[in-house]
Structure 1
Amino acid sequence: MWTSKAWRIKEMLRWVRKATSMRGAQWRLTNFINIAMELVADIGLLKPVRKALKTVKTHRDAILARWASGLNNARIEAPGGIFQAAKCRARGYRNDDTFISMIYLLAARVQNLLKST
């Protein structure tokens, strides 16, 4: 029963993210916070969810700024994934140059490597 409530909250948050306009996002986010708080109001096991909802409520304006700016953090997160992959592949090497080389090999486009030879 509580798992289904947590799942419903997650799906509602996904619904908020699909808003196409700022006004729609404001309405969806307000709806999301109100309904989600009602769902977890008296359940002690979902206290972390309640804390997360309070954080969403606190940072509401910053969350809505995403629709105003149209920017996201994908360009910042992408290199992090490349670094993690390089770290896994370069495991056991003690040389920093090897790690850096692995990052270059993973991040470079094959077409660019072929043109340079």
Structure 2
Amino acid sequence: MSDTVLNHWDGVLRWFESQINNGILEGFNSLIQSAKAKARGYRTHKNFINMAYLILGKLDLRIPT
């Protein structure tokens, strides 16, 4: 076996037991990176965090008609 497989062997076995992967986490990471790009130029980290909440929360901010 290669060194890479041996280094990650516990994780490989854990996947067969749980069938859980990190796809959802990677999706969230993608959305956070999008928020980071949209927040570029803001003065504070608070604005970045607010942008991340708005994107991840998927709020419907349309005005009711």
TM-score by length of 1: 0.43
Distance 1:89 1:103 in 2: 9
Distance 1:58 1:100 in 2: 35
Which structure carries more relative contact order (alpha carbon 8 Å, separation 6+)? 2
Structure 1 residues without counterparts, runs of 5 or longer: 1-32, 34-52
Q: Residue 69 of structure 1 aligns with which residue?
A: 18
TM-score by length of 2: 0.66
Q: Render the CA deviation track for 1:66-97: whole Å, top value 9, x for unaligned.
A: 12111112233232222211111111111222
After superposing on structure 2, the runs of 4+ consecutive aligned residues of structure 1 that deviate more than 6 Å are none
Q: Residue 46 of structure 2 aligns with which residue?
A: 97
Structure 2 residues without counterparts, runs of 5 or longer: none
Q: Percent identity?
A: 37
| Bigger proportion of residues as helix | 1
Distance 2:44 2:11 in 1: 42
| Root mean square deviation of aligned Cα | 2.2
